[in-house]
Structure 1
């Protein structure tokens, strides 16, 4: 679910010749392979783990539309035992994946972000019945935090691959601005999916949204680059998302 996500850490690389800084991934420092992204529909089952038992709590439906000048991603979260929906929409440019638009609607709040020379829009807190006008000026380049999981699929993954990624996130109850998501490690692995053993990239990530206290592990099919599974370790809680179709 993509109200989650992600940010800006500086990685120091020590060599025999001295010390240098590695640039974070951003629309201006972009190694994504867009040929790996296709228009598609998918559904993931979302479960909470309690005492080693998985308890299903919802489903996540995603639609990716790859057009000539833009990529449009719509995510709908349907919670069990609730009539509420969480609907997120993200638009990025196909040229460099620069964010264009982001909206998020749920029972607690509505948010709209338009990306240009300034980030404009609004944040409606339905519980407090307050609406905040958004006008943020950011100098450094960044990805939309909601696009972050899709970006992982497009990177030149290999054993030991690690990077930091600059992303923008807006949450008045947590953090606002350009933050850092970190790919801590990448390794080849296998995963049983729908009765078949799949070769996957296992990617361990964390981010500044959670103050780097939570870990999200992605299992990405090496052949199709689809996300087959996500594991969210949130301190004492654990959640799992599995691709259904």
Structure 2
């Protein structure tokens, strides 16, 4: 999912990266994971994706997330349908139930194909369809990390509270941006209310950024405190803004 957002930002243009500020020393990883794994359950959710322009919400696509939780593994399939794209964008992720250690990740869209197998080495391939080039991947990593496609789900299960912040170790492969173990940052968390389908819900408002976009893009999640559903996600990049809202 994070990669799909980055692809869209590149398509839209005017994307000028800046360098991130110093992050907290201790990062969350599978070896240092305070998440409540019981908060991730089998479910299917759908969100409508909007571009905000001159205070108008213009629908640009939909995003469906299927989560299947089994005894030892969690399977996540994210399907994005964009109005301007003739093909679906599909990301698949497999992680271990215990500690969310990554096992597999694949991403298929009109611009690229990517498959990653996680182990002592991260192996797979990256096919740039526009350039017509295929790169074999073999990345040795010496630290513990999550799959970059999984960390939005991880945030839902963290011990969120007023003022909560931390960094998260993630692995991302994008030759046009970052390759290897990088950081996602929970900048701040606040308790607030959000009106969803005409009813006020108590939510955690979690503001995040990551090294995938050199911390230019800010994603803000509105997470229901009782169900841990992501009711809304705001994506801010420069003067531009996108919003995804849960369909219920």
Partner of 2:133: 130
Q: What is the aligned-residue RMSD (CA, Å)?
A: 1.6
Deviations 1:27-73 (A, max 9, x none): 00000101111100000000000011110000001100000010000
CA–CA distance in 2 between the matches of 1:9 and 1:28?
Answer: 24
* Equivalence map 1:170-209=2 (5 Å): 170-209=173-212
Distance in 2, matches of 1:10 and 1:234, equals 20
Residue ranges of structure 2 left out of the alignment (5+ in a row): 7-19
1:166 is aligned, of 163, 166, 169, to 169
- Do structure 1's residue 29 and structure 2's residue 32 form an aligned pair? yes
The ranges of structure 1 where at least 4 consecutive aligned residues each deviate by more than 4 angstroms after the TM superposition are 8-12
Q: Which runs of 5+ in 1 are unaligned?
A: 13-21
Which of 58, 65, 69 is 2:68 aligned to? 65
1:67-104 superposed Cα distances (whole Å, 9 cap, x missing partner): 00100000000111432110000000011100000000
- For 2:36 and 2:107, the matched residues in 1 are separated by 27
> What residue number does 1:3 align with?
3
Contact map agreement 1:58 1:80 (CA 8 A) in 2:
yes
Matching of residues 11-160 of structure 1 within 5 Å: 11=23, 22-160=25-163
Shift of 1:2: 3.5
Take 1:11 and 1:2, find their aligned partners in 2: how far apart are those partners? 20
Aligned to 1:19: none
TM-score (norm 2): 0.91
TM-score (norm: length of structure 1): 0.92
Per-residue CA shift, 1:199-223, capped at 9, x if unaligned? Answer: 0000011111111111110000001
Q: Distance in 1 between matches of 2:145 and 2:104?
A: 13
Residue 17 of structure 2 is matched in structure 1 by: none
Separation in 2, partners of 1:164, 1:108: 30
Conserved in 2, the CA contact under 8 Å of 1:202 and 1:219? yes
CA–CA distance in 1 between the matches of 2:168 and 2:86? 35
